[in-house]
A and B are shown apart, each in its own frame.
Chain A
């Protein structure tokens, strides 16, 4: 498959890009932020997403979805990134769907149709500390009654306080097990914190949460592979969103270079800025190609996907970070103001960069996967 969007994908982009730009531009984020919105996203907008079939893009057709791939989901995520749109699309429509579709079984049958119909918001309860360390999960699942008892603390759980169900990764007797924990489960509390980008992420406490045996996603002790699928999809999606954030920041900055005058010249005439903008362009193009490659390999079910996902998260992280830093610097004083949007790009980038493993985590993963 060539590494560019085919006609169907280009059509999808042509319909999603103007939709997100019109319905959820940066002013949409500002409105939610300034009204101290407690949900973290607009349910009206989610209803519009649902009308377009977006939450169920990755849901298999048998479960009421569109059965599309990561390349398609990436198109939506890039526009979400470009417009800084607060949305549960990444956790619900990408991460959760990847895990449930991989696992199949009861929970897939229960939640995939609900995701596709826009009824269910899903949170991913993976991290436990300030840094992403999915190989050191300490939350425990102990057998109790005809099910399990879950104890532990989770952090950085986006939409955790409003999710209808959370996917919780826990250590069981013989491995990792994933659970679908409904929001009304006794002993489950979510403490939402507003982050630098105005999103809401929860500290989730599982204090003797009792779930039935059929709350297990997939098989007991065999959650590792399902978690891998969840992580690969979410990381790739976050990388795609970062490409959108970086591109949005870069476009805004390049436009500014063509408008702002100092010393009687447009500042874009200065070679020092031209070269930095041109360098950034290269980095963004490389990041975009890398993310597309990761999406393609995931869609093909290729063995090489895991490496490329880490490469994509790291590369997109580096490139988008450069885009927002250069963006603020090249805007000068106005870039430091809340009124101007470029700072919002910097904030969103920082949150996305941390989500599901930062640049350093994924660089380290690349070393490990190459045997050093």
Chain B
């Protein structure tokens, strides 16, 4: 047996022994997602036990080095772990912006001290992070951001506001882009880290078209940030931000930007019934769903190839933009079909049968997929410029 086969057997046995049955059920609502953090309330014992088992093994961040809370797995081993988790339909033990975004940035740009200090609490689900990037006047044109940190010797005094800060009202700390030099657009931003309980930080949830409020406005009013709490170099935060955006797009891609990667037509055949030939009883919708399924299975292969190449340094550094673009557009299409398939039932907004309007709200939520983390149009700009090398892009 090869080493990888042996590893697979070991993982399989470990999962069997440690992943509770409840954690192999599909995610039904937001409460089923474990975000961790100071104020996180576990939904049940199984969720807690599953997190703790993974933390002990380093499996919340399997490919991070052991000293930072990971398991130090190779890309091949990580892939096997993911395959085996998927095989038993195991839920993710811990989801967080710390894992997806800040962690990779710290691994790349952080000092040894910062890595030890910040990564371990992320891996253990103790500190929940949020991301302070967009501002009311700086969306796609992020680098025009105005939130300013005034240099006061051993600390900055930060003033300004951020918008679309995901779960800012639930987060413990923020990683935040702050202008520290008004004379230099790109090299005048510092990537700061600070506690959301700092004096002067307030958050205000934004009610979205889905009726939910996953995003906040975040205000900074004379917030003091020690001048040790930044990543990379002062005024060079844009480098970190760009790296992190790439990673964010990678995560959105690898994490299934196409949504649930299974056949949509298969699921609806039951609801619709079939005709005498055994076909979904609406030929036009059937055709649209089948065409969509082709794209889903194709994107799944793309996701596999992308991750294989990305983890081994073979991918074009800008290819995550393509993944993000294709995947998010696909997910929007999926939810349009879910609504069509659901008919008038899918329109229900708050009934018990509709699980609180899950389909309608989910459909509306996906409209943000191609806006957040860089719009589809920005993704296309980046592909044109960095991959296709088109002029003046």
Contact = CB atoms under 8 A, between A and B. Distances in A.
B21 interface: no
Given A3-B304, A266-B391, A366-B297, A371 B266 contact: yes
B299 A363 contact: no
Nearest to A280: B388
Contacts of B387: 278, 281
A372 B326 contact: no
Interface stretch (B132-140, B360-368, B378-386): B378-386
B279 A315 contact: no
Contact of A311 (B294, B312, B381, B384): B294
Contact of B297 (A258, A277, A311): A311
Interface string A353-372: 00000000011101110111
Contacts of B299: 286
A4 B384 CA distance: 23
A268 interface: yes
A274 interface: yes
Contacts of A275: 377, 380-381, 384
Given A278-B384, A286-B326, A268 B391 contact: yes
Interface string B325-348: 110000000000000000000000
A149 B293 CA distance: 43
Contacts of B274: 372
Contacts of A368: 279
B268 A289 contact: no
A258 B390 contact: yes
Contact of B390 (A274, A286, A364): A274
Contact of A277 (B268, B293, B388): B388
Contact of A4 (B279, B314, B381): B314
Interface stretch (B211-219, B224-232, B282-290): B282-290
B234 interface: no
A312 B393 CA distance: 32
A75 interface: no
A199 to B, nearest CB: 26
The residue in A268, A271, A278, A307 that gathers the most chain B C-beta atoms within 10 A of its C-beta is A278
B322 interface: yes
B390 A289 contact: no
Interface string B311-322: 010100001001
The residue in B287, B377, B393 that gathers the most chain A C-beta atoms within 10 A of its C-beta is B393
Given A274-B393, A367-B286, A362 B325 contact: no
B208 interface: no
B294 A3 contact: no
A119 interface: no
Contacts of A277: 384, 388, 390
B39 interface: no
B308 interface: yes
A289 B301 contact: yes
Contacts of B308: 2-4
Contacts of A310: 294
Contact of B304 (A265, A285, A293, A307): A293
A308 interface: yes
The residue in B266, B269, B388 that gathers the most chain A C-beta atoms within 10 A of its C-beta is B388
Interface in B64-87: none
Contacts of B143: none
Interface string A249-271: 00000100110000001101101
Contact of A274 (B301, B304, B326, B380): B380
B309 interface: yes
A372 B322 contact: no
B87 to A, nearest CB: 14
Nearest to B390: A268
A360 B299 CA distance: 19
Given A3-B309, A278-B383, A281-B388, 19 more contacts: A2-B308, A257-B390, A258-B390, A266-B391, A271-B381, A278-B322, A278-B384, A281-B383, A283-B326, A286-B298, A286-B299, A293-B301, A315-B294, A315-B298, A363-B290, A364-B287, A366-B290, A367-B280, A372-B278
- Return the 7 tightest CB-CB contacts between A and B, nearest first: A293-B301, A372-B269, A278-B383, A274-B384, A367-B290, A269-B392, A3-B305
Interface of A: 2-4, 254, 257-258, 265-266, 268-269, 271, 274-275, 277-279, 281-283, 285-290, 292-293, 307-308, 310-312, 314-315, 318, 362-364, 366-368, 370-372
28 contacts: A3-B305, A258-B390, A258-B391, A268-B392, A271-B381, A274-B380, A274-B388, A274-B393, A278-B322, A281-B387, A281-B388, A285-B319, A285-B322, A286-B299, A286-B301, A286-B302, A287-B298, A289-B301, A289-B304, A290-B301, A290-B302, A314-B294, A362-B294, A367-B290, A370-B265, A371-B263, A372-B274, A372-B290
